[in-house]
Amino acid sequence: MSRLDDYSYVALEGPIGVGKTSLARILAERLNARLILEQVEENPFLEKFYLDQETYAFQAQIFFLVSRYKQQARIAQRDLFHKLTIADYMFEKDRIFARLNLNHDEFGLYNTLQPLLAAKVPQPDLVILLQAHPDVLITRIRRRGYAYEEPMTRDYIRQVVEAYDSYFFDYSDAPLLVINTNGVDFTTDKVNVDHLIRQLERIEEKVQYYVPTKE
């Protein structure tokens, strides 16, 4: 029996622009999994946040916290047609961004609410962490051309990358597969998707690393 048969919930994570949603779609289709995608565009404060982070950080963060909590409740519900659920984020990402974006008082207030919600959401059986250099991420962000991301700076992306590196440095809540995506586009590279799925079938350690080929 492959390790994939043991999973019911796999979450993809990584900084903005790294390709979480694209890979989640591909894996869900290949593995006949239920797909849960974060509804980023629904946040009415997001574009304002990128233009004026100090003013709109708290509003944007609280909207995300509640929205993500509601979505995560769906994961806890059984799906009669899919044994496996794949999501393009994990609930704890909310804390990563809150710590990065909120000031001291805002983060203190955030911390009165977040743990209450976090206690009620399911934990993934496996986390796939996608990594890429900030310059690669900026190129991908500009290429996809979302209007609300236009004000985003390289310095902010660098901070996000560092925040993810710090959070996952000693992550131990679930098995972790770390993938370097600097040189691969899973949307056009069927070979590496096949390799990745085989890698998922033999996760044996708490943390494993996978570097896709460049063929």
Residue range 3-210, CATH number:
3.40.50.300
Q: CA-based diameter of the chain, in Å?
A: 52
Q: What is the tens place of the pLDDT at every residue in 47-70?
A: 999 999 999 999 999 999 999 999
Instruction: Tell me the chain's radius of gyration from C-alpha atoms.
Output: 17
**Residue pLDDT, tens place only, 84-124:** 999 999 999 999 999 999 999 999 999 999 999 999 999 99
Contact status, residue 205 vs residue 177, Cβ threshold 8 Å: no
Whether the per-residue pLDDT at 215 is higher than 70: the answer is: no
d(CA 215, CA 209): 19
pLDDT at 1: 42
Query: For residue 76, what is the enclosing H or E element?
Result: helix 53-76
The answer, yes or no, to whether residue 80 has pLDDT greater than 70, is: no
Give the C-alpha separation, 59 to 202, whole Å: 42
List the end-to-end C-alpha distance of the chain, in Å, as a whole number: 30
pLDDT at position 214: 56
Domain extent listing, the chain: 3-210
Q: What is the mean pLDDT of the chain?
A: 91
Question: CA-to-CA distance for 185 and 22, rounded, in angstroms?
Answer: 9
Q: Please tell me the pTM assigned to this model.
A: 0.92
